[in-house]
Structure 1
Amino acid sequence: MIELENKYYYKALPLLRQVEINTMFAEVVLNHDISGSVYVDCLDNPRTFYVVHSYGMSLLFGDLGNEAFMDKLYHYVTNQSATRHQVEWLQTDPAGRWSEVMDSMLLTYNGQLEKSGLLPEEIERKSILRNTRVNFSFHRDAYLESKQNFPKHGEPIICVTKEQFLTQTGSVIPSFFWRDEEHFAKEGVGYSLLRDGKIASTSFSSCRTGNQLEIGIETAEAHRGKGYALSVCSALIDHCLEHDLEPVWACRLENQGSYYLAQKLGFRPTVTLPYYRLPLG
């Protein structure tokens, strides 16, 4: 794994376009819309790519077979050399055999941890975990039909402002997906539901490429289970429909709240693939 200078990120785009899953988070890195890193098998004519979004999402795609790359990949995903400074969530191109490679690395590394004598909680914290990533397709008619039965809230829903961009807290918020408030104001969009003047739930564009807009959602813990996420997501989907944009949704299958919320909003599961949590080690 050799880090690629950002002026050469374009070299990854032809192969990325052949990956038949939602790759929007990787595309915005390659297009310099958000910070990230790209690692390759060689600099002159790279054929294997590992793209990391600054939020901690990563994508592995391209050719297999470079042993030096494989060796460095193992050290990277296990973080035995402490080169990574955050937990990552990795998905791989399902058309290749990368999931087999990752499963083999997972078994090897986790097996070593089991024999290490560490406490069970330490083993769990350091292990590579295999979850499931779900891609969805949007069905306009299903959404419009469901929308007729959405609950009505008296709380106001407003467009996300620059001030809210800068001050909102949470784990999935606009500032993690855009360079700054000016970038978001120019190319992004979001809607917040206010409760007693404070943000209770926000739906926003986490990625925007071409005519597609990927939806991010954050609801304050004290306001979950009240249907607020449904309302703000509906506002964002309406914006998409008004501006000829395709709304895009993806989540972990294990995130049952997001999984079922998507289906209430007219999304239908289309693809599932392994989703690896890479620990700090």
Structure 2
Amino acid sequence: MVRLSPAQYAAAYKRYLEHDAYFPLIGAVLNGTQDGVIYADCEESLNQVYVEHAFGFAQFFGRTMPVFEQALQRYLIVDKAFSCAKVRLYTPHCPDFLKVSECEEMLSWRQHFQLDIVSRTEVYSLETDQSVKGLTLILADASHVDLIERTFGVVGRFWRTQEDFASQSNAVLALVEGKAAALCYAAAVSGGRAEIDVLTLPAYRHLGLAKAVVRMFNRRCLEQNLLPLWDCFTNNIASMALCQSSGFAPLGDAYTFFTINR
């Protein structure tokens, strides 16, 4: 298992585009716009590649190479050699070394979604929802980053700098009576796709704020020819319901996902 240098990322990204399960957080590492590490079976052929975002989301792809998967098993399961607190491993194609009883406690299921064709053509209203008193929806910019970080603590979770977050996350902020209440932003943008993350403070839940910020986020992305994607645990009933009511359709079946703690 060989760690690739940034000069080799473009070739690995080209190989990723041949894969049928695209996640913007993985694409962003391969594109060099977000931090992480990339390993391959061989620097020249890149038959099989493992990508790990600095926050822990990870995926491997390519032609199965038994020696590489043995090394990856040791890295993830035996030595736990990763530097993040936990690896959050997307496995639409699950390797044999994870299909054992010892790994069952790490296993969960997630569903991948994208904004469907009908919703892409819908013109969303940008008018403030008058059903919530004092609600204002803001297309966030650099002047809102400090408020977003103080309230939600997500600015540096995926993005390298506040400037990157402000210019690339397409964040939409909901204020209620002037106080930050909900946020929708892109955790990553790559390959013309934007990975949604949405949060609502507990005191403001069940008011429809999450749907309001998601709808405006979708509009903001579509105006830039970005396709919004959504990915969540299948047992997160609220998230599953919100994404489907916001115009998202499943991309294939639910898939296995492994959370590997250090």
**Correspondence 1:135-174 to 2 at 5 A:** 135-142=112-119, 144=122, 152-154=131-133, 155-166=135-146, 167-170=149-152, 173-174=154-155
The change in CA–CA distance for 1:157 and 1:41 in structure 2 (over 3 A counts) is same
| Contact 1:234 1:265 survives alignment (8 Å) | yes
> C-alpha distance in 2, partners of 1:130/1:237?
31
**Residue 116 of structure 1: aligned partner:** none
How many Å separate the matches in 1 of 2:118 and 2:46? 43
Aligned equivalent of 2:250, options 269, 275, 279: 269
Amino acid at match of 1:161: D
Distance 1:139 1:266 in 2: 6
Question: 1:34: how far off?
Answer: 0.5
Tell me which amino acid in the other structure corresponds to 1:49.
Answer: V
CA change 1:81–1:252 in 2 (3 A) is closer
Report if the CA contact (8 A) 2:76-2:82 is conserved: no
Partner in structure 2 of residue 31 of structure 1: 31
Q: Percent identity?
A: 24
Where 2:251 maps in the other structure, the secondary structure is strand
The change in CA–CA distance for 1:161 and 1:18 in structure 2 (over 3 A counts) is same
- TM-score, with normalisation over the residues of structure 1? 0.80
Letter in 1 for 2:223: E
Aligned position for 1:77: 76
Once the two structures are superposed, residues 194-251 of structure 1 have per-residue CA deviations (whole angstroms, 9 ceiling, x without a partner) of 1343321100122222433222111123322221111111111122333333222222
**Distance 1:192-1:78 versus aligned 2 partners, 3 A rule:** same
- Segment of structure 1 superposing worse, 135-144 or 260-269: 135-144
- Measured against aligned partners, the alpha-carbon deviations of 1:143-173 in whole angstroms (never above 9, x if no partner) come to 84998xx8833311112233543424547x3
User: C-alpha displacement at 1:73, in angstroms?
Assistant: 1.4
- Calculate the TM-score normalised by the size of structure 2: 0.85
Pairwise CA RMSD of aligned residues? 2.7
Counterpart for residue 118 of structure 1? none
Aligned to 1:121: none
Counterpart Cα distance in 1 of 2:130 and 2:233: 26
Q: Distance in 1 between matches of 2:62 and 2:36?
A: 18
**What is the aligned partner in structure 1 of residue 261 from structure 2?**
279
Corresponding residue for 2:19?
Answer: 19
In the alignment, what sits opposite 2:240? 259
Q: Which residue number in structure 1 is paired with residue 64 of structure 2?
A: 64
Give the Cα–Cα distance (whole angstroms) in 2 for the partners of residues 39 and 161 of structure 1. Answer: 35
Q: Which residue of 1 aligns with 2:88?
A: 89
Structure-2 residue corresponding to 1:227: 208
CA distance in 2, matches of 1:189, 1:16: 25
Change (3 A) 1:245 1:81: closer
CA 1:72–1:151 in structure 2 vs 1: closer, same or farther (change >3 Å)? farther
CA contact (8 A) 1:151 1:227 kept: no
Distance 1:221 1:6 in 2: 41
Count residues with an aligned counterpart: 255
* Gapped regions of structure 1 (runs ≥ 5): 111-126
Partners of 2:123 and 2:220 in 1: how far apart?
17
